[in-house]
């Protein structure tokens, strides 16, 4: 029996920091069981440089990361999502469509490290902290048994792990 590949879409307003970090982390931590994607309702147009710096410092993949609108994942040729995870409270779900396959959804609120003011070290520390928090949440999610993930991917609402 083959192991299913779960598609996960991380959503955030600007798709420049938290959702990008989550995409990169899950693509590495998911060990081929997950394909992570990210999008925003008001994409910034570029990935925050400190998000890239932290990911590169921690040897997470950054190739191909870009700020994009969630609508890219609501096209006929887009992969069908199994999970949609929103990482900020401000994301406007009213603008989102009914997703094909009715994927499981969750809200995992994380403070926006891009909003932290200060010198480079202060801002970098905020991005490191966010990356650690997101990694911890993803590790809990990934620790769920395969049968639980399968059940959640079949149209159930995912609560915070």
Into how many domains does the chain fold?
A: 1
- The stretch 96-120 carries a mean pLDDT of 89
Helix 18-29 vs helix 120-142: angle between axes, to the nearest 10 degrees?
Answer: 50
- The stretch 137-161 carries a mean pLDDT of 73
Radius of gyration over alpha carbons of the chain, in Å?
A: 15
Q: Which domain holds residue 115?
A: 6-153
Expressed in percent and rounded to 5, the helix, strand and coil fractions of the chain are 40, 15, 45
Whether 56 is covered by a domain: the verdict is yes
Whether 158 is covered by a domain: the verdict is no
Whether 69 is covered by a domain: the verdict is yes
* Domain CATH number, residue 22: 3.40.50.2300
Whether 115 is covered by a domain: the verdict is yes
Whether 1 is covered by a domain: the verdict is no
Q: Both ends of the chain: CA-CA distance in Å?
A: 27
Q: Is 121 helix (H, G, I), strand (E, B) or coil?
A: helix
Task: Using the predicted structure, report yes or no on whether residue 105 has a pLDDT greater than 90.
Answer: no
User: pLDDT (tens digit, 9 = 90+) per residue, 6-62?
Assistant: 999 999 999 999 999 999 999 999 999 999 999 998 999 999 999 999 999 999 999
Whether 116 is covered by a domain: the verdict is yes
The answer to whether 107 and 90 have CB atoms below 8 angstroms apart is no
The whole-number pLDDT of residue 2 equals 67
Whether 59 is covered by a domain: the verdict is yes
User: pLDDT (tens digit, 9 = 90+) per residue, 48-104?
Assistant: 999 999 999 999 999 999 999 999 999 999 999 999 999 987 665 556 677 888 898
């Amino acid at each position: 029996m083959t192991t299913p590949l779960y598609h996960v879409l991380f959503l955030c307003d600007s798709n420049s920091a938290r959702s990008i970090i989550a995409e990169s982390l899950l693509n590495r931590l998911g060990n081929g069981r997950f394909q992570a994607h990210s999008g925003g309702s008001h994409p910034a147009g570029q990935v925050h440089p400190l998000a890239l710096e932290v990911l590169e410092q921690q040897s997470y993949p950054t190739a191909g990361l870009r700020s994009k609108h969630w609508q890219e994942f609501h096209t006929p040729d887009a992969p069908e999502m199994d999970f949609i995870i929103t990482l900020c409270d401000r994301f406007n779900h009213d603008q989102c469509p009914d997703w094909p396959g009715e994927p499981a959804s969750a809200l995992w609120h994380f403070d926006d490290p891009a909003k932290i003011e200060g010198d480079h070290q202060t801002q970098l520390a905020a991005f490191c902290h966010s990356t650690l928090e997101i990694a911890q949440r993803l590790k809990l999610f990934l620790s769920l048994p395969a049968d639980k993930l399968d059940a959640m991917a079949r149209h159930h609402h995912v609560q915070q792990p």
